[in-house]
Chain A
Amino acid sequence: MTRFAVTRAIEGLIVLLLMSFVVYGLIGLMPGDPIDLMIASNPKLTTADGQRLRALYGLDRPILERYLNWLTAAVQGDFGYSRAFARPVLELVGPRLVNTLVLLITALAVALIVGLGAGLYAALHPRSWIDDLIGYLSFISISTPTFWLALLLIMLFAVVLGVLPASGMPVGADTGLAERLRHLILPVATLSLASAGGYTRYMRAAMIETLGQDFIRTARSKGASEMRIVLRHGLRNALIPVITVIALDFGALFSGALITETMFAYPGMGKAIYDAIMANDFNLALVTLLFATLTTLAGNFAADLGYAWLDPRISLAAGRAGT
């Protein structure tokens, strides 16, 4: 187990390193640089000033050298300053990351409860009218784009009914919990509804397949009740393939969270990434994107742990777990 965690941590570091290089390179390829923006916004600056500023900030160096400089500083814990916010990047990203994680985890929990519950019910009552209804609803959920669903929910609950806020989650610790929760409801609903449909379909299919297995027949031949068959023998086996889907979906959930945050002006990583790229805020963009990578890696790690917990045939010690 420890070995597995260490292996995974090393693999994660390699992925982060590669990602940082790719992201740095991509940002470097973007047209224009911060100095161009400065010159454009301040008519007193001349082209010569621009050259001097570039040399000052090191922007005239080749990109590989700049990347290595950044990396050396980053390894020592210095991720630099955000130009747009004029604050250290880490200080800026911290609370936003927390907000995003709150949104992500709540949405995931809601999606799992709704999706797995509905899928399980549908699998146990195949071809009933409720199964059909669950089927239709999950297809609607799968095929509705996140941004459109967000708009729809805002229209209904914020504009027409006026019961929930459409945006403006307050930043800072002085707001009450109830107020925060009220601001969470619509983003969480948007995000979880988009994923729940998929989980429902997979859970239903996995459970129906499991119930057709020989060992379920064995359990019946032992006189086990339906409840026992489903909970003791079916559920755990059915969840194994569903975990794969959840792990694969995690990236999509994360990018969905970024869109949702922008739609609801929710102060999380998504908005930070958007703002950073729009303002050509080099350091901030890099760190936010790296945190996004880290979150996805953590999600996959959690899925691997889930596998090992559900399926004794997967041994983490041998390092054979994988997604």
Chain B
Amino acid sequence: MTSVGMLLEVQGLEVTFPTTRGLLKAVDGVSYSIAAGQTLGVVGESGCGKSVAALAILGLLPPPGAVTAGQVLFAGADLVRLDPGALRRLRGDRLAMIFQDPLAALNPVVPIGDQVGETLVIHHQVAPSLARKEAAALLRRVGISDPDRRIAEYPHQLSGGMRQRAVIAMALACRPALLFADEPTTALDVTVQAQILDLLDGLRADTGMAMQFISHNLAVVSRLADEVVVMYAGRIVEKAPTNELFRHPAHPYTQALIDTVPVKGRRPRGSPPMKLPSIPGQVADMRTVRTGCGFAARCPQAAYDCRAAEPPLRESGKNHWVACFRAAT
């Protein structure tokens, strides 16, 4: 089953949260892989399971969430079955993660330098004073000017863009093989977002690390990813190389997302404001038990079979996978 040269292989990952109304499957049998140096984009709306899957892989699920099935192969080990200590030794060293809100992600009462250099202290027993020096070099690397002064400052003294740069420096301190980036630019302004996307892509190219880039924003993902996974209601509905996905979206949900997102240029010049194409209905509620395709209730092409059985992920073109009975093969 293991394909050659894959850095991370997720197979049939299932994450369950027990609730008062029964078990909630936040991630429902998700499989994908990332090659070294590659960027995988994971796209979906709130509650589709894109962040939960990443947290599960790193063993960071908030209780009472738990991985109930599947395996995650990384460097010859199954992360799901690894003992907590061994997984902890991988986290921050070989596997790193950055989050959406950089102000919340940084400890408000610890100087930036100590936070950035902390993984060196934890994983490589570097003396704190040396780690702080290393932190200054890392901050310079991510484009923060005057890093020797910044290491003594606290998060509230930095601008939003600088904070996210510091978070990135922190994640890269031990030169991880794989970086999970969970909506890293969502809290940032668009001009700063462009800078951070450039920085992440540049660092990936320089260090050869792989990246799993999670976002609700298709356009942002298309700017970084080699391959894109589209998730809906805990499942992967489509997976394809980035250009292929945007040129030939096969799943009605992917098509609808591409068609409905308000992006500049959709409305012709000289035209008065006019209605956009839109998908009816609400984002899937994971708390309700369903059979069949999760998107069926909102899908213009849905038929009886879509509600009766869950469409499997099948290859509709070269490296192009789709979970839809209606999609052409």
Contact = CB atoms under 8 A, between A and B. Distances in A.
B105 A214 contact: yes
Contact of A222 (B108, B118, B156): B118
Contacts, number: 70
B88 A237 contact: no
Contact of A310 (B107, B109, B118, B123): B109
Interface string A13-28: 0000000000000000
B213 interface: no
Interface string A23-52: 000000000000000000000000000000
Given A221-B60, A312-B154, A237 B93 contact: no
B188 to A, nearest CB: 16
The number of chain B residues touching the other chain, given as a range, is: 20 to 34
Interface of A, helix, strand, loop or mixed by DSSP: helix
A223 B90 contact: yes
B107 A233 contact: yes
Given A217-B99, A220-B60, A222-B119, A311 B109 contact: yes
The number of chain A residues touching the other chain, given as a range, is: 20 to 34
B106 A218 contact: yes
A237 B107 contact: yes
A310 B109 CA distance: 7
A237 B90 CA distance: 27
Given A214-B99, A214-B101, A223 B88 contact: yes
Interface string B270-292: 00000000000000000000000
B91 A221 contact: yes
Given A221-B97, A222-B119, A223-B89, A215 B106 contact: yes
Contacts of B123: 223
Interface of B, helix, strand, loop or mixed by DSSP: mixed
Nearest to A233: B107
B7 interface: no
A220 B106 CA distance: 12
Interface in B76-105: 88-93, 96-97, 99, 101, 104-105
Contact of B122 (A223, A236, A240, A310): A223
Contacts of B60: 217, 220-221
Contacts of A240: 109
Contacts of B106: 215, 218
Contact of B108 (A215, A219, A232): A215
A201 B93 CA distance: 37
B221 to A, nearest CB: 21
Contacts of A2: none
Interface of B: 58, 60, 88-93, 96-97, 99, 101, 104-110, 118-119, 122-123, 154, 156, 167, 170
